[in-house]
Amino acid sequence: MKFKLKKPTLPKVTFVNSVNKAKSISWKLSSFTLVRILVLILVLFGINILSQRFFYRIDLTENKSYSLDKETKSLLGKLDDKVKLDVYMSSNMPSEFLPIRQNIVDLLNEYDRFGKGKITLDIKDPNKDSFKTDAAAAGLYEKPFLSRTADKTEVAQGYFGIALTYKETKDAIVFINENTIEYDLTSKINKLVNTDLPTVGFLTGHSEKSLDTDITQIGGYLKTQYKVVSVDFSAGQPLDASTVKALVIVDPQTEFSDRDLFELDQYLMQGGKVLVLGESYTNNLTSYTLTKNVTTKLNTFLQRYGLEETANVLMDESFTPVNGMITYPYWVLAQTDNINHQIPVLADLTAATFFWTSSVREFELGSNQKFTKLIQTTNYAWDLSDDTVNIYPQNFTVSKDRKQYTIAGMVDGSFTSFYQGKDIPALKTPSEDKRPKDFPRYDQSDKAKIILVGDSDFITDSFYTGNEQNPVLFINLIDWLSGNDALLGLRSKSIVTRPITPQSSAAKLAIRAVVTALVPLSVIAIGFGYNLYRRKKVSSIK
């Protein structure tokens, strides 16, 4: 039997209509896409306009390094006239400086924003012919930019500073430091607008360390916030505590006369505040020796008011290495756990380094006096008290008798003058006595305060860079004593030190045991796990 297959009939397709529908859909999609693009452009444009008027930036850094501090905002909000900031940044800066430049520009824009019209920001064009001339006229000068790459080191000269103008007064930041730019700039603005700066005195006449020769760097910072004067008691001139808010005594080397001690006593009895940076030893770095200092009578004076500097030199398991690598326990590193954060000026301090420091302690406190430990060593410190101490880096022995010592302490409360009921000590040449006849004597005070630190090297030009927080500590202490705490929190904002915390012998042994056992135990665990995995795999195949 034969079958005849019928040819299938294909459905009739109208291609014209399908093409027209496709074009229609494509056009609608294109129109919709175009509308969306236009809306997106309008939204972005609106956001851009709003962001210029309502700028906000989220700063996730620990210390809010890219946001203005409340002290800066408060100062900017109180400006009564315009402060002009002329920024000079040369175009030949190495490439690694470009991100720093942008960060600084962003921060300066914050000043402009919070200044609310009282900050005039002008970033100068480095390509203009008058750029260098204008920068020099503003008190700036070229500084070297150091650029290091894998195969070469280059040095370029350029400008990287800010000139400030307020009314008729001018000042400048010669070279911008990214880490301290906010403090530097806010300090300059504060000095320009507040001409009535508090006065701080530095005692002279006993071969003390000097702001002009030994403490020039930190002294420069101090002079942006204070009127700094020299105080000399040699002619019997009294010191007015209402004028000089704080008196600083830095490592005196020669003996105080009885008249010197009387005038110092009278300053305290007026409610004066005294910061003493002592030294029980003099270092000779050529021979690597410390020699015990002769008495200057200052320690005897301090004992009358509840403080004493011990004639010793401290060493600690917590130390700052020499050149970043050599073990040197004589450079005691005080860490955050041993800093009294209940004291406002120490609240943000995380570390400080003291060089060949002595310990301090309370001494026969009066019933209405209080001794406060400000900074201490760890519990693993020890001391030496020989007349001469060898301080060669490899020449030290760790003592078995270790304990905690106080490096900085304070006494405040009620004080009674040592000279109450006594005659004023005469000068060697009475005819030269400049003490006014009508200047009153003071026998009691409940407002005086004395801070004693067992080291003075930590603020000197030779050693202050041993810890970036040393200048912060010193100036904060002066702020506290003088009552000038406007920039207190700002100073330590971008400075964070994270030293390694010393451990006890038992803790070290435990850590060593864990680390030693960790590798073989890990290998055993991995092998055991792999063996279980293979067994399961074989079982699944069966």
Residue 61 placed within a domain: no
Supply angle C-alpha 260, 481, 299, rounded to 5: 35
Write down which residue in 126, 157, 173 finishes a domain. Answer: 173
CA distance 205 to 222: 21
- Torsions phi, psi of 228, nearest 5? -105, 125
| DSSP3 helix / strand / coil % (the chain, rounded to 5) | 35, 25, 45
Q: Is 110 contained in some domain? A: yes
pTM: predicted TM-score of the whole model, two decimal places: 0.73
Judge contact between 376 and 338, C-beta under 8 A: yes
Neighbouring CB atoms inside 10 A of 328's CB total: 19
The larger pLDDT score, comparing residue 500 to residue 58, is at 58
199-203 and 227-231 beta bridge pairing: parallel
Q: Within this chain, do residues 341 and 466 fall inside the same structural domain, yes or no? A: yes
How far are the Cα atoms of 295, 395, 465 from residue 346, in angstroms, in the given order? 31, 34, 19
User: Looking at the structure, do residues 338 and 468 belong to the same domain, yes or no?
Assistant: yes
Name the residue among 215, 224, 280 with its Cα closest to residue 465. Answer: 215
Instruction: Calculate mean pLDDT across residues 229-256.
Output: 95
The pairing of beta strand 360-362 with beta strand 169-173? unpaired
Measured N-to-C along each axis, helices 70-77 and 181-193 cross at an angle, to the nearest 10 degrees, of 30
How does DSSP assign 488-538, residue by residue?
Answer: HHHHTTT----PPPP--HHHHHHHHHHHHHHHHHHHHHHHHHHHHHHHHHH
The pLDDT of 179-201, averaged and rounded, is 88
Indicate which CATH number applies to the domain containing 487. Answer: 3.40.50
Residues present in the chain in total: 542
User: How confident is residue 4, by pLDDT bands cut at 50, 70 and 90?
Assistant: low
* The domain boundary residue, chosen from 474, 491, 508: 491
Q: Are residues 143 and 260 in the same domain?
A: no
Contacts of 163 (CB under 8 A, 6+ apart): 85, 86, 88, 135, 138, 139, 140, 170, 171, 172
**C-alpha span between 96 and 108 (Å, rounded):** 20
Domain CATH number, residue 113:
3.40.30.10
- 158 and 250 both lie in a single domain: no
Quick one: 528 exposed, middle or buried, by C-beta within 10 A (0-12, 13-18, 19+)? Answer: exposed
Number of H helices, E strands in the chain: 11, 24
* pLDDT for the residue numbered 294: 84
Using CA atoms, how far apart are residues 393 and 534, in angstroms rounded to an integer?
57
**Is 60 domain-assigned?**
no
Q: Is residue 252 part of a domain?
A: yes
Q: Is 371:324 a contact under the CB 8 Å cutoff?
A: no
Residues 383 and 274 in one domain: yes
Nearest residue to 364 (alpha-carbon basis) of 443, 420, 293, 418: 418
The confidence band for 520, taking pLDDT boundaries of 50, 70 and 90, is confident
Q: Give yes or no for residue 15 having a pLDDT over 60.
A: no
Q: Which domain holds residue 319?
A: 197-491
Domain boundary among 491, 506, 536: 491
User: Are 249 and 301 contacting, i.e. CB atoms less than 8 angstroms apart?
Assistant: no
At residue 21, the pLDDT reads: 60
Tell me what percent of the residues of the chain surpass a pLDDT of 90.
55
- 3 state DSSP class of 300: helix
More confident residue, 438 or 66: 438
Q: Could you tell me which of 502, 499, 179, 512 has the C-alpha nearest to residue 324?
A: 499
Looking at the fold, whether 89 and 231 belong to one and the same domain comes out as no
Q: What is the DSSP letter of 378?
A: -
Task: For residue 536, tell me if it sits in a domain.
Answer: no
259 and 371 belong to one structural domain: yes
Query: Count of alpha carbons within 13 Å of 424, Cβ hemisphere only?
Result: 20
333, 300 contact by CB (below 8 A): no
The verdict on 459 and 354 lying in the same domain is yes
Look at residue 396 and tell me if it is in a domain.
yes
Tens digits of residue pLDDT in 292-321: 998 899 999 999 999 999 999 999 999 999
Q: Are residues 158 and 203 in the same domain?
A: no
Q: b/e per residue, 371-403, with b = 16+ CB within 10 A? A: bbbbbbbbebbbbbeeeebebeeeebeeeeebe
Q: What percent of the chain has pLDDT over 70?
A: 82
Are 298 and 396 in the same domain?
yes
Structure tokens given for 392: 């060669």
User: Is there a domain that residue 519 lies in?
Assistant: no
Q: Of residues 509 and 222, which shows the higher confidence score?
A: 222
CA distance 445 to 103: 50
Residues 196, 227: Cα–Cα separation, whole Å: 9
> What is the per-residue pLDDT across 436-490, written as a single tens digit (0 to 9) for each?
989 999 999 988 999 999 999 999 999 999 998 999 999 999 999 998 766 666 6
The tally of domains found in the chain comes to 2
Q: Residue 198 gets which letter from DSSP?
A: P
Specify whether the CB–CB gap between 162 and 173 falls below 8 A: yes
pLDDT tens digits for range 84-135 = 999 999 988 877 778 888 889 999 999 999 998 999 999 999 999 999 999 9
Residues with Cβ within 8 Å of 516's Cβ and at least 6 positions away in sequence, in order, are: none
Long-range Cβ contacts of 436-443 (<8 Å, 24+ apart): 436/238, 439/238, 441/266, 441/417, 442/266, 442/269, 442/270, 442/417, 443/269, 443/416, 443/417
Q: Is 497 among the domain residues?
A: no
Of residues 416 and 57, the one with the higher pLDDT is: 416
Non-local (6+) Cβ contacts of 136 within 8 A are none
Distance from C-alpha of 497 to C-alpha of 492, rounded to nearest angstrom: 10
Q: Are residues 117 and 210 in the same domain?
A: no
381 Cβ contact partners less than 8 Å away, ≥ 6 residues apart: 314, 315, 316, 317, 318, 332, 402, 403, 404, 405
Asked whether 96 and 147 are in contact (CB, 8 A), the reply is: yes
- Calpha distance 364→479 (Å, rounded): 28
Confidence (pLDDT) at 93: 80
Residues 153 and 215 in one domain: no
pLDDT at site 277: 97
- Across 214-357, the runs of DSSP E, i.e. the strands, are 227-231, 244-250, 273-277, 281-284, 289-292, 307-309, 313-316, 331-335, 351-355
Whether 387 contacts 343, CB under 8 Å: no
Highest mean pLDDT among 152-161, 277-286, 391-400: 277-286
Which tens digits make up the pLDDT trace of 357-370?
Answer: 999 999 999 888 99
83: Cα separation from own chain's centroid = 26
